[in-house]
Structure 1
Amino acid sequence: MNFYPGPSKVYHQVKDWLNEAYETDILSIQHRSQKFMDIYESIVKNLQEKHNIPKDYTIVFTSSATECWHILNDSFGSNNFSNINSYHFFNGAFGKKWFDYRKANYPKTTFGIEFGINEELEDNFFQQIPQNDYLPNIICLCQNETSNTTQISQKMLSEIRQNRQNDFIFIDATSSWGGQNLNFNDADAWFTSVQKCFGLPAGLGIMALSPNLIDFYRKNSAVFPTNDIVYNRYNQLSFLIEKANQFQTTYTPNVLNIYLLSKVISFVPSISITSKKIEKRANHLYKFIERNYYHLLITNTKVRSKTVLAIRLMPEGVENIKKKAKKEDIILGNGYGSWKEDTLRIANFPQHTDIEFERLKEFLK
């Protein structure tokens, strides 16, 4: 049983889908073929229907969520966007990495605001950001910070959107998209990787872009599709958008994982059902962990993640539990970043079963 928070357990149906992909020659199709475009289009339609993604949002495939950082950083940091400020709010390792990458390339327009792991992100954090009608800011957030198992509530995201309507909001939802019921209208760019809540092998990222963001980029970009355009990067945003509108990618993609994604998204129930199940199980797990005298890394219940949990122990205790778990064929997640040595992380993703969590509870007693 694999409770690592990514890559994590894959759906057991993946074995059958892999065989189906081989038998139907999916592994050999071209990414400009009608078959591929049909698969791409089916994913978009199912994401709209089951994850409530607005129909005017554009779905783009990348290699990973990390690549999405770079695409967004470069697209809105250089050339005609070089005077746009990017504000990164973070309390953990992944949010800081996103900030560090942009700061390294665009230091004059990149600003980091760090807050505590048990601290709620509130509107007063954003009051330090200047607002104007002619030049938007970019606000970057990790909705679910996998390194320390915190999250920003949907209520807070909606408040930020309401109070920052002239700005663009980018959200890393790597450990929540597919597991939590997100309101995609609350941000202009969302992205994830499939090895977490989608229950698939690593190697595919998904990005959803709002029409407002695309329109702003189109009007201000020095490079947007024309008949004689020559792109200087394979993952240039304008190129990605152009191909996404045709249900294609800019390069030969991970066709197998895209096919597997089409199977998963047609197989799973609506996100409202999945999210309720995940939240209920998380609440039970948190109570169980505390009843059995373990210490949770996050003490503020309002900012605890629903999809990844962290237990805090002495370093020797961490190693001891991991060794015992391995003997029971249970894989627990290592800590990450500042919490690498003294925490265990446990994934609570849709592909995990209640039976598996009952076995985990028996082990932890």
Structure 2
Amino acid sequence: MPTANASVVDRENLRAGVDAALARHVADLRETARVISADAAPLADAVESMLAGGKRLRAAFCYWSWRAHGGTPGDGREEPVLRAGAALELFQAAALFHDDVMDDSSTRRGLPTAHHVFADHHRATGRRGAARRFGDGAAILLGDLALVASDDAMSRAVAGLPEPVAQAAHSVFEVMRTEVTIGQYLDLVAQTMPWGDPQDDERRARDVVRAKSARYSVEHPIVLGAALAGADEDAIAGCRAVGLPLGEAFQLRDDLLGVLGDPSTTGKPTGDDLREGKRTVLVARALARATAMGDRAAVDALTRGVGDPALDAEGVATLTDLLVRTGAVAEVEQLIDELCTEAFAQIEAQNWPEPARGTLIALAHAAVQRAA
């Protein structure tokens, strides 16, 4: 992660506090695995590896929203907020383990994905059965373990808090988990649909963006922090008004980086989203523009190439050129700007005190002005 972004997340030792909570969960998992069987040790190693590379943006949005709504550093509720941040990070780890299997991604944050690591170990040790199935199965179970740990972290976070605060916070977390799971399914469905009306394609793409990423990346963490501070419904509504457009901008930036980003920075090969057939707003806009221009060759190239797992570097370059040449990249950049303008206007409308207000603004910039 760029240093500027890291400095925002590191303010007031937030990262250290969240990392300490995560380390306790990994240690608990490692001990449980040790007691059950020595063969289970690689599971704790894989969870630890996945957690080590996180940006901690979700945890930071949660913490600084808590501060914005009256939270005081060092008081009895700070540790629960840090634990809630750890719960968000564990949930993200669970989603990434599963997402990598579903997309058959080869790398994550510059390292081999878990299902490939376990499959390679299967081959190297001469085990029986299909290495690919073993790797996929292990990664699915890793996601399940991280999901169980996230629930445990959230339960520990709210234990001892006033009952209305605990219920409100847990409700946010439960809704978030359900939405992301449904969003993953919608993503799968979208990739199976034939290309049709460009407006319908973009509608599906934005449904996926909101359910799978936007709300859980920004909106729900901000709302969760406010709920942990005991914020009222009006304050919660203000958080949602900030979080949703900012979360959409966050994911749209991710979509651009998936095509135009530097692999040495993003940690993923360029063009993976194109090979996987991701039905992004970017691709939908390119098809809409090519159709409007009557560029049949561009339409054919996009509909054939997006979703082709055998797409080579030249094919990726051709599609990337089309995304730029049709004006789709410029349109998505403009959409990001519009969403950010909306989000920052909503921040201005909130009566958030300093230093929370300034830090949340810095976090918002870090979420959308990034290279990874």
Q: Which has the higher helix share?
A: 2
- Fold match by TM threshold 0.5: no
Q: TM-score, normalised by structure 2?
A: 0.27
Q: TM-score, normalised by structure 1?
A: 0.27
